[in-house]
């Protein structure tokens, strides 16, 4: 009799989905240390290894499938362990340095904040004489630079980091935290871009002229200003977008979602991909946002 070749669907997809579910559950319960989204962003080579194991071993027999499953799980667990993700252990906070840019004679500002990974907390400093002030990581292998210039009454600031150097498997699990405060004394065209991590943008009280927020992998939480009229765009490839809308502010959303869930208050009017709050047409403050999410969820509250 001729030998039969064992055929089945691949193991990599189900293992990744189950693993992500477990990791996100532990993260939501506060049981993981390390920058989870940073690690997920850098762990993509593990997928290639897992696919190779599955093709080489897992599709030849039932025992091969079992061995392949064990090896794939070992690869992912080992990779995350090397990356510094631990259960029930607090993450180490990296050394920081101060950043500051005086307001001077500026009447308007264009500000770009671009951490490569980690955590960003943005808030407003009412009446501050500094256009921007805060603290950023000063870790070895990640240089944060600030470029400031002015044209007339317009001030421009770019705050970037180079990202941690190193092989994708061996990344720091420590928390690279940016804490930035902006003044409310001028109109701000704000752009924020992050590779992987968590952003908490509390824009309440900020005078926004335009907003653009982009995250590759991670969670983005934005508290909108309670006053003003502006347009903006919020986008993410993988993760969660949460937008908090102050009472009395009108909001119109144009949503583009791949396999992302969209959760808006029941009072919002829904026409195709456009969601409109009841107060949008009559509110003193109205905001138009384009929201793009490929995989994950979009929540408006």
pLDDT in tens, 142-173: 578 999 999 999 999 999 987 543 333 333 44
Q: What is the DSSP letter of 91?
A: P
Bridge partners, 132 (sequence order): 101, 182
Lowest mean pLDDT among 35-39, 162-166, 204-208, 280-284: 162-166
> Over 90: is that where the pLDDT of 48 sits?
no
pTM given for the model? 0.71
Q: What is the DSSP letter of 104?
A: T
pLDDT tens figures, 21-33: 666 665 555 555 5
What residue segments make up the domains of the chain, in order of their start? 12-82, 96-300
Inter-CA distances, 19 with 8, 11, 26, 80, 125, Å: 20, 12, 11, 11, 40
> Over 70: is that where the pLDDT of 282 sits?
yes
> Over 50: is that where the pLDDT of 90 sits?
no
Q: Where are the alpha helices (DSSP H) in 240-280?
A: none
Count the helices and strands in the chain (H runs, E runs). Answer: 4, 14
pLDDT tens figures, 52-88: 766 666 555 676 677 777 776 776 666 665 555 555 4
The pLDDT, as a whole number, for residue 196 is 79
Per-residue pLDDT band for 93 (boundaries 50, 70, 90) equals low
Structure token pair of residue 262 = 């969209």
Mean pLDDT computed over 259-273: 91
Structure token pair of residue 183 = 């003044």
Mean per-residue pLDDT over the chain, rounded? 80
Q: Report the interhelical angle of 44-53 vs 12-28 (nearest 10°).
A: 140
Structure token pair of residue 208 = 């926004």
Beta strands 130-137 and 96-102 are antiparallel
Q: How many CA atoms lie within 13 A of 69 on its CB side?
A: 13
């Amino acid at each position: 009799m001729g030998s039969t070749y064992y055929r089945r669907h691949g193991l990599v997809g189900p293992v990744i989905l189950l693993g992500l579910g477990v990791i996100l559950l532990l993260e939501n319960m506060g049981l993981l240390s390390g920058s989870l989204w940073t690690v997920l962003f850098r762990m993509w080579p593990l997928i290639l290894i897992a696919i190779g194991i599955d093709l080489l071993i897992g599709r030849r027999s039932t025992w091969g499938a079992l061995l392949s499953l064990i090896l794939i799980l070992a690869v992912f667990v080992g990779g995350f362990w090397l990356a510094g993700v631990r259960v029930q252990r607090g993450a180490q906070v990296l050394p920081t340095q101060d950043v500051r840019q005086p307001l001077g004679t500026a009447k308007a500002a264009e500000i770009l904040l671009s951490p490569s990974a980690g955590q960003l907390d943005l808030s407003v400093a009412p009446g501050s004489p500094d256009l921007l002030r805060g603290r950023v990581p000063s870790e070895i292998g990640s240089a944060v630079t600030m470029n400031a210039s002015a044209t007339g009454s317009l001030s421009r600031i770019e705050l970037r980091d180079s990202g941690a150097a190193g092989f994708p498997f061996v990344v720091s699990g420590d928390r690279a935290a940016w804490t930035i405060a902006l003044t409310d004394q001028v109109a701000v065209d704000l752009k924020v871009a992050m590779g992987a991590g968590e952003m908490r943008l509390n824009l309440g009280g900020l005078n926004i002229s335009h907003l653009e927020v982009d995250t590759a992998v991670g969670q983005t939480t934005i508290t909108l200003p309670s006053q003003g009229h502006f347009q903006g765009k919020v986008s993410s490839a993988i993760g969660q977008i949460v937008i908090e809308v102050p009472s009395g502010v009108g909001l119109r959303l144009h949503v583009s979602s791949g396999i992302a869930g969209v959760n808006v208050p029941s009072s919002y009017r829904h026409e195709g991909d456009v969601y409109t709050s009841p107060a949008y047409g009559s509110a003193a403050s109205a905001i138009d946002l384009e929201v793009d999410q490929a995989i994950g969820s979009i929540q408006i509250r």
